[in-house]
Amino acid sequence: KKLALVESLTMGTCFGEFANVSNGKINDSIGYFKIINNISDLIDCKGVDRDIVSTKGLYSVDSTYEISTAVINEAGCDLVLSSLAEYNETSEQAIAYLAVGDQDGIHIYKQTIKGDKSVIGKLVAHNMCFYLIRKLKQNAFFLFSSIIVILE
């Protein structure tokens, strides 16, 4: 099975963790990888509806759904795992939209995560991995030889 992976605030943390647990065989399981830094990165993705992203903004349920469906359709992957998350310095919290799904449907979870910016990215990545593992168990998918993600 192939995974499409999209990260924003996590800046490749999930990808790095998958590389660690797959003993360097990550290319066998990751069919698509992209980091979204700004709204232009999102709009430039093939299959993303520019009007929805322009109206709803970068960090929203709608934009997360757009990138997730576009990536899984365009990349021809079996699963998609994505996050669009923004850290607010003033309130010291992140609003994260995490998506996991397949061709049958995509589930989006909105989370508010409080904490120091230095740990927020790892917390968001940890939650992404949790939802991926749950999806894998539900569908009896096998990704990598086994998936055990431990974020320190």
pLDDT digits (tens, 9 = 90+) for 128-146: 988 888 888 877 655 544 4
Are 97 and 84 contacting, i.e. CB atoms less than 8 angstroms apart? yes
Kindly tell me if the per-residue pLDDT of 123 is higher than 80. yes
pLDDT of residue 62: 94
- State the average pLDDT over residues 116-131: 88
Comparing CA positions, the residue from 112, 5, 110, 8 lying closest to residue 58 is: 8
- State the average pLDDT over residues 82-106: 93
- State the average pLDDT over residues 71-76: 88
Find tokens 């990349």 and name the residue.
75
pLDDT of residue 61: 94
Kindly tell me if the per-residue pLDDT of 119 is higher than 70. yes
CA distance 73 to 102: 9
Confidence of residue 24 (pLDDT cuts 50, 70, 90): low
CA distance 142 to 136: 7
E-assigned strand segments in the chain: 3-7, 30-35, 79-88, 93-102, 105-114
